[in-house]
């Protein structure tokens, strides 16, 4: 199944879903070297699955596609994958980005973490809206 999907297809999807970002940004997000991504664009993703670049790239793409298919805009997706939300064994809070870069969890677990981040993201934006509406009411009095 993955033998028909090349790295370029995955990278192009991520570029679109994350707001037309560069190969460098994608590499930075998953903590791999940009030249590794660029030099493997024509290879199938299956060929890279045993290497860290392939594992991280596919895991990241699955998580991003989950939120992209929900209709979230690129800015929201970038916020979601950056929110430290889930405590690891050391008591540190992990974000999707840090968990992908450290290869800590499966894509399914990361999607669950992302859903937790999504709830937190909605809560924060709701609080900001309430504060903004409250300020508008105070100023119009």
Q: What is the pLDDT of residue 133?
A: 58
Sequence-ordered alpha helix ranges (H) in 83-106: 96-101
Where are the extended beta strands (E) located within the chain? 86-87, 93-94
Q: What is the pLDDT of residue 86?
A: 77
Find the helix packing angle between 107-140 and 52-69, rounded to 10°: 40
Contact 68, 17 (CB under 8 A): yes
* Per-chain mean pLDDT for the chain: 84
Q: What share of the chain is helix, strand, coil (3-state, %, to 5)?
A: 70, 5, 25
Lowest-pLDDT range of 27-31, 62-66, 100-104, 129-133: 129-133
Kindly report, residue by residue over 30-82, the tens digit of the pLDDT: 999 999 999 999 998 888 888 888 899 999 999 999 999 989 999 989 988 88
Contact 114, 106 (CB under 8 A): no
Q: What is the pLDDT of residue 136?
A: 56
Q: What is the pLDDT of residue 24?
A: 93
């Amino acid at each position: 199944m993955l033998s028909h999907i090349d790295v370029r297809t995955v990278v192009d999807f991520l570029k679109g879903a994350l707001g037309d970002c560069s190969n460098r940004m994608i590499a930075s997000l998953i903590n791999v070297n940009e030249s590794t991504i660029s030099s493997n664009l024509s290879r199938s993703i299956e060929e890279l699955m045993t290497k860290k670049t392939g594992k991280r790239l596919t895991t990241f793409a699955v998580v991003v596609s989950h939120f992209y298919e929900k209709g979230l805009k690129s800015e929201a997706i970038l916020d979601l994958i950056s929110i430290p939300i889930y405590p690891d064994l050391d008591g540190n809070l992990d974000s999707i980005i840090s968990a992908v870069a450290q290869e800590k969890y499966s894509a399914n677990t990361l999607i669950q973490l992302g859903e937790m981040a999504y709830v937190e993201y909605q809560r924060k934006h709701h609080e900001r809206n309430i504060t903004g509406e409250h300020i508008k009411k105070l100023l119009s009095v």
